[in-house]
Amino acid sequence: MLRKAIYLRTIMNEDYPKRLFLEIAYDGTNYFGWQRQPEFASVQEAIEQVLSRLYDQNIQVVGCGRTDTGVHAKQYFLHFDAPKHRENLAFILQKMFPSDIGILNIHEVEPEAHARYDATERTYWYFLDENYDVFRRNQAWWYPLSDLNTDLIYKACELFTQYNNYIALCRFNPELSNHLSHVSQAEWCYFKPEKRVIFKVKSNRYLRNQIRRMVGCLVDIGREKISLEELESALRDGTELKYKPTAPPQGLFLWNIKYPYV
């Protein structure tokens, strides 16, 4: 079993390289997602550029998962192998990183630890606002929430936790061997006085566009464009839905990642 992570400052006399987990947060507004792309700015590229300058050699990182263009992360983990010790690493990285990427913590882990494959649970929050707020235009979907039938939405959320085949609510990927996602939480939290919704979803893994399509589906359930029976049939049998809207990316946040050793 991997031992519990300790802070970098306690290992300055040990041999290198060391595998480090960086725990970060980022505003995804200015990025075309997490994953490095040849022609577009990504969070991964921004981090690798900083680490490579800091260590005077090419540093590649592995993230806990992909986020789409415009999607944010309140908590995100990545790992890399540090070739040598650097004093005040968190402070230095924060000074070098773009202002929309923040360092939350640094953990030393065993050499076999993996930011993506070792994660046991991932939680996302999706924000919807009925009132337009110019300061939240990149952090929420502006939508007339009071027009939605929330009782139907609550019942639809219950269906999400009863089935685990999400082929009907993801972008098709022929390389996947299965389309399973064990959703343990799907909660539509409607704050009526604030006219705001937070959709909270927790699972062991997600398929491409799954959460945004879940949100889009719930909105169409609330508009009564999709029935509960149609949704249940699609989840149970893996059949197509009549409508498969994808909610916009800016309301989505990767909120929390769980590991057995961090």
Structural domain ending residue among the three candidates 99, 118, 137: 118
30 shares a domain with 135: no
Residue 161: inside a domain? yes
**pLDDT for the residue 238:** 87
Number of domains in the chain: 2
Per-residue pLDDT of the chain in tens (262 residues, 90 and over written 9): 444 444 444 444 468 899 999 999 999 999 999 999 989 999 999 999 999 999 999 999 999 999 999 999 999 999 999 999 999 999 999 999 999 999 999 999 999 999 999 999 999 999 999 999 999 999 999 999 999 999 999 999 999 999 999 988 987 776 667 888 999 999 999 999 999 999 999 999 999 899 999 999 999 999 999 999 999 999 999 888 888 899 999 999 999 999 999 9
178 shares a domain with 51: no
204 shares a domain with 150: yes
CATH code (residue 127): 3.30.70.660
251 shares a domain with 127: yes
112 shares a domain with 128: no
Alpha helices in the chain (DSSP H): 43-55, 89-96, 150-160, 210-222, 228-237
80 shares a domain with 126: no
**pLDDT for the residue 174:** 67
Range of the domain at 251: 121-257
Q: Strands 18-26 and 183-191, how do they pair?
A: unpaired
The maximal CA–CA distance of the chain, rounded, in angstroms, is 63
Structural domain ending residue among the three candidates 73, 92, 118: 118
Residues 147 and 219: their CA atoms lie apart, in Å, by: 10
Kind and range of the H or E run holding 103:
strand 101-108
157 shares a domain with 228: yes
200 shares a domain with 235: yes
Q: Are 189 and 200 in contact (CB under 8 A)?
A: yes
Residue 233: inside a domain? yes
92 shares a domain with 137: no
Residue 180: inside a domain? yes
**pLDDT for the residue 6:** 42
Residue 3: inside a domain? no
CATH code (residue 31): 3.30.70.580
